Amino acid sequence: MATRILMPALSPTMTEGTLSAWLVEEGQTVASGDIIAEIETDKATMEVEAVEEGVVAKLLVEPGTEGVAVNAVIAVLIEDGEDYDVEVDHEPDQAIDKDRDTIDRMKDDKSPQLDHATTHSIDLSRSEQSTQHRVKASPLAKRIARQNGIDLNQFDGSGPNGRIIKRDVESYQAGSTSTGGAGVNVGITPTIGVDGPTPFEIEKPSAIRKIIASRLSESKFTSPHFYVTVDMEIDSLLELRKQINANPDEPKVSVNDIILMACGRALKAIPGANKAWVGDEIHQYTRADISVAVASERGLVTPVIKGADTQSLRQISAVASKLVTKARDGKLLPEEMQGGSFSISNMGMMGVKHFTSIINPPQGAILAVGAGEKRPVVKNDELAVATVMTCTLSADHRVIDGAVAAELIGKIKGLIENPIQMLV
């Protein structure tokens, strides 16, 4: 009996994903638990396991296909020795093609349900309306052709039943370009600037880059940001860290670990800052779950240190180190990125003195941490030198008032400048 493999929902917010790679081939036997594919979601790249044993009869979605809907059929398994030769035309991310398939099928069946209104309910472009037959092509091939102005009617496909696939489009494109034809050069398209044509390369955004763009645009445009900036002296923090790390048998503690602990304790002390505006409700968080911004090759990801208000410094350091490593390797699990009531973005290690961050929705605030550097300061009416870092709190004015934001960053400053109080 054939078993359908569906596009999994790897997080509560996932509605579609990119099938990055198949790790099996048609005809291959798999066992329950075998890794069969890699799926790129809005947060990370995840591995998909086979839930049953069988033989891979059909792989219905090509590697690299974007916008594959959750619960769409992506492959079919059969039992060993079973025949499976049913042709499946599966194009999950082409809604217009689904509508056209329905019309074509109804025409073939001479169904009385197909009327003039139905056939004209789909808004097709003039070029599509003039096409005498529907071109069979994979979603990825159609996307590449559309982006580069290639007419899929000009060549045949090498896929199953003549389906045009990615390599067919690329081969046609390469041939057109090399012979001086109408093909478009991949990736480089001129645009007109003040001083003439300015070339640029087209970079296809990853799924995570798209979600970053969407979420941060929404945050910046809908959340009324305001900013509170303070300078913090960190000489006492650096001395404490030096003493803690003097034990060679213990894992090293970072400056960011101590900042995480300070933010957790401050949010516990100032609960009015541990809030978020969600829909038309205010969510008052009862625990300080802190998201940490981590730069990876795929984009910015934010693993969450849960319960930072109650964990010890060693616990925070161990969890943060593990999550940051997994984030940079693209191995975070969905549950390790879900939730969060507050965020920290530290660019101090990059030498950045001061910056502001966009709030990570639906949270209510984020702390931007700059580099620690030697600066002149006045102590007891005398000029002195101290190691100072500049921190800026971005807050959502819908849920956090200016006085509360000032109170929170003041509490963080007090803990940073006198960190020993967090350990007693």
Annotation says 116 is catalytic: no
- Helix/strand/coil percentages in the chain, nearest 5: 35, 25, 40
What is the SS3 assignment for 49? Answer: strand
How far is Cα 262 from Cα 93, in angstroms, rounded to an integer?
Answer: 46
Phi, psi (deg, nearest 5) at residue 134: -75, 130
Whether the Cβ atoms of residue 66 and residue 39 lie closer than 8 Å to each other: no
Q: Which of 286, 298, 248, 410 has the alpha carbon at shortest distance from 20?
A: 298
| 223, HSE (Cβ side, Cα atoms, 13 Å) | 29
Longest dimension (CA), the chain: 94
* Distance between start and end Cα atoms, the chain: 64
Q: Are 209 and 215 in contact (CB under 8 A)?
A: no
d(CA 56, CA 78): 7
Query: Distance (Å, rounded) from C-alpha 91 to C-alpha 242?
Result: 58
What is the spatial distance between Cα 141 and Cα 298, in angstroms, rounded to a whole number? 23
Distance between CA atoms of residues 41 and 15, nearest Å: 9
Q: Which of 211, 340, 338, 226 is closest to 283 using CA atoms?
A: 340
What is the full DSSP assignment across 306-324? TTTTTS-HHHHHHHHHHHH
Residues 6+ apart with CB under 8 A from 349: 371
Is 118 exposed, middle or buried, given 0-12, 13-18 or 19+ CB atoms closer than 10 A?
A: middle
Active-site residue identified among 90, 225, 283, 397: 397
Distances (CA, A) of 386 to 235, 373, 377: 7, 8, 6
Report the C-alpha gap between 324 and 377 in whole angstroms.
34
The pair phi, psi for residue 131, each rounded to 5°, is -70, 130
Amino acid, single-letter form, for residue 72: A
Residues with catalytic roles: 397
